[in-house]
Amino acid sequence: MKTSTATEVRSSHLRTFRLDGGRVALVPDQAVLLADDRVTVSVRVDAGASLEIVEPGGTVAYAMRGRSARWDVTIEVEDGGSLTWHGEPFVVADGADVVRTLTADLGADTVVSLRETLVLGRAGEAPGRLVTTANVRRAGLPVLVEAMDSGLGLGGHRVVDQLLHLGLPACGDGMVLASGGHLHRWVGDEVHLSPVTSTPRRPGGGA
């Protein structure tokens, strides 16, 4: 889907719907996430354009009976562009095995707010397996490069809630990145207990 504000969102398994202004809803087009699924999401924001991605609900990766699935996101935001994407919880149920990747190439003068909430297991069940990698670059320089394997353990916790802010005011306590941005991360047991908040607003509106 390419909007009149020079933004584009494409996906293999999710459908995009234009909302008001520069907002786009990302809605599953079919049941996801199941064994052997290879979900891709591609986001592009041209110079000077603004985009906010809205997810009406979270995603559950279901038991996969020894098989696996992928969820790959690529983002490109040109100089002067703005992207807000505060994703809903991504739940990896007992028996699921998922690889989730984020690759982002950002211009030097961009405003970006990305929230990711990962939950290992539904209430009352054991966690599934999740391997995540992130590679975020700004003006060609690394901003955030890391990997997490839930099989190595999270100290007994099951929730990772994090918010990456670039070009926005700090939102509570957080890690100051070499790029000048901020990473707010919380590891705990219940999503509703997370202190991570998304209160700063991007220029032109949106959460």
pLDDT single digits (tens) 163-174? 999 987 766 678
Nearest partner of 139 among 175, 85, 178, judged by Cα: 178
Q: Are 101 and 147 in contact (CB under 8 A)?
A: no
The whole-model pTM stands at 0.90
Q: Which residue ranges make up each domain of the chain?
A: 7-193
CA 103 to chain centre: 10
pLDDT single digits (tens) 66-117? 999 999 999 999 999 999 999 999 999 999 999 999 999 999 999 999 999 9
Q: Rounded distance, CA 81 to CA 107, Å?
A: 8
Nearest partner of 134 among 71, 49, 60, 180, judged by Cα: 71
pLDDT single digits (tens) 134-152? 999 999 999 999 999 998 8
Q: Which two tokens stand for residue 83?
A: 């992207």
Nearest partner of 51 among 29, 76, 28, judged by Cα: 76
Q: Which two tokens stand for residue 193?
A: 């207990």
